[in-house]
Structures are given as structure tokens and as C-alpha cells.
Chain A
Amino acid sequence: GEEVAQTPKHLVRGEGQKAKLYCAPIKGHSYVFWYQQVLKNEFKFLISFQNENVFDETGMPKERFSAKCLPNSPCSLEIQATKLEDSAVYFCASSHPTGSSYNEQFFGPGTRLTVL
């Protein structure tokens, strides 16, 4: 598609439950990024993919967070055993090679996760 798609829009989980978020990048875009936006607009980078390969995972809390981008499937971000502090909006962004060496990232509408 022409836009980054994210599902679901809203997700409510009890503390300790699992949460799974999905992202379909813009068609033709080979890079996918996941960011977490918490209060006061603080964006935290989580992980990025080049096609199905992890490109940069320096922001991932690995003990509970995992992510995948498999061929012909939406990318996913999974949180095992959610905690209250995981409550945030999770944005997916995609980017593609244009011939320049820089990347403009286009964001999806986000998934608002509320952990109770």
C-alpha cells in the first residue's frame, strides 16, 4: 500500500499478559523501524529491519521484547509479560533506498498499548 499500516489501533492488556502488534510497510520499502512514544513525546528507538533481517536492535529490551519481519507477512512486535511501563504508543516507520544515502522514514498511525 501507499501508507504504513498498523494493527490494532488500540490494545489493552493486563500486567503480565502478552501483546502483539503488527506493521505492514509501504509497498517497496525494505526498511522497517519500530519506535515507542511515551509521555512528553519521548520517542525511543526499538529495532529496525532490512527486509527480514535485523538491522539494528540496540534499543530492544530483549528479555521481554521480540520482533520479526517475515516474507509476505506483516512485521510484528511482541511483548511477553507486559509491564505497566510498556504503556505507550508504538509506531512503525518504513523507508526505502532512493539513490541518496539518507533515509526519510514514513510513520504508520501507531498502536496505543495500555497495560492495566
Chain B
Amino acid sequence: QKEVEQNSGPLSVPEGAIASLNCTYSDRGSQSFFWYRQYSGKSPELIMFIYSNGDKEDGRFTAQLNKASQYVSLLIRDSQPSDSATYLCAVGLNTGFQKLVFGTGTRLLVSP
């Protein structure tokens, strides 16, 4: 079982729709959760992080965390073609400055 799992996609949504990206993790002691966006040939760009159970909203993005289910999700509202990228879920096992364990990413395609 991989430590961090994501559906590779592609997830195809029309422009203006809500895109829902999901991630599960295996280590119940995980404390910090990050969503990165990576365009092809580019570096990962941090878009959201969440540490507590519940929802966290930032503009068009909402991260959701359920530690009991070991599940993290990212919702993108009003999806735009420019949101087309690979979304990487990353998990920090502990507090502090620990390595991140990455999923293999979900490719999102937003069609005009």
C-alpha cells in the first residue's frame, strides 16, 4: 500500500464546474497536509495547506481534511482552463520541519 494515494486521472471537467480531487494516506500519525499544483515541466507550486479537521477555504480553493478517515480533498470552484495541471497531495508525518511524502498526483483537464 502506498503511503499517499491519489487517482491518476485525468479528471475532466467543463469550465465553470467544481473539480474535486481526493487523496488518502496510510500513516495515522500524519499531521500536515499540502496541495501542490504542477504544470508540465515546471516545479510544484503550493496552493493550499491544512492541519486541522474540517474545511479551509482560500479563494476558489477549499481543502477538506478528515483524519479519522485518513482522507484529504481539494475542491476547485469555477474551474478555469488555466487550472489544468497535475495536483499533488503531500503529507507531513509529524509537526516540525519534516520531509513530505507525495502522492503521484491527479491530472486535471478543464475544457473551455
| Interface residues in chain A, defined as those with a beta carbon under 8 Å from any beta carbon in chain B | 31, 33, 35, 40-43, 45, 48, 50, 55-56, 58-59, 91, 95, 97, 101-110
Q: Is the interface of B mostly helix, strand, loop or mixed?
A: strand
Docked Cα-Cα span, A33 to B101, in Å, equals 12
Given the contacts A95-B97, A102-B49, A41 and B43 also touching, CB distance less than 8 Å: no
Is B49's CB under 8 angstroms from A104's CB?
yes
Name the 4 nearest CB pairs between A and B, nearest first: A43-B102, A45-B99, A101-B95, A107-B43
- Does B100 touch A at the CB level, under 8 Å? yes
Given the contacts A102-B31, A102-B51, A103-B32, A48 and B104 also touching, CB distance less than 8 Å: no
Given the contacts A109-B43, A110-B43, A50 and B97 also touching, CB distance less than 8 Å: yes
Is A104's CB under 8 angstroms from B99's CB?
no
Docked Cα-Cα span, A33 to B31, in Å, equals 18
Question: Besides the contacts A97-B97, A101-B95, A105-B46, what 11 more A-B pairs have beta carbons closer than 8 Å?
Answer: A31-B97, A41-B102, A42-B104, A45-B101, A56-B99, A102-B49, A103-B96, A104-B46, A107-B43, A107-B46, A109-B42
Given the contacts A40-B104, A41-B86, A41-B88, A104 and B34 also touching, CB distance less than 8 Å: yes
- Does B69 touch A at the CB level, under 8 Å? no
From A33, A35, A103, name the one whose CB has the most chain B CB atoms within 10 angstroms.
Answer: A103
Please indicate the chain A residues that have their CB under 8 angstroms from the CB of B100 in the complex.
Answer: 33, 35, 43, 45, 105
Docked Cα-Cα span, A95 to B100, in Å, equals 12
Q: Closest Cβ of chain B: how far from A9's Cβ, in Å?
A: 11
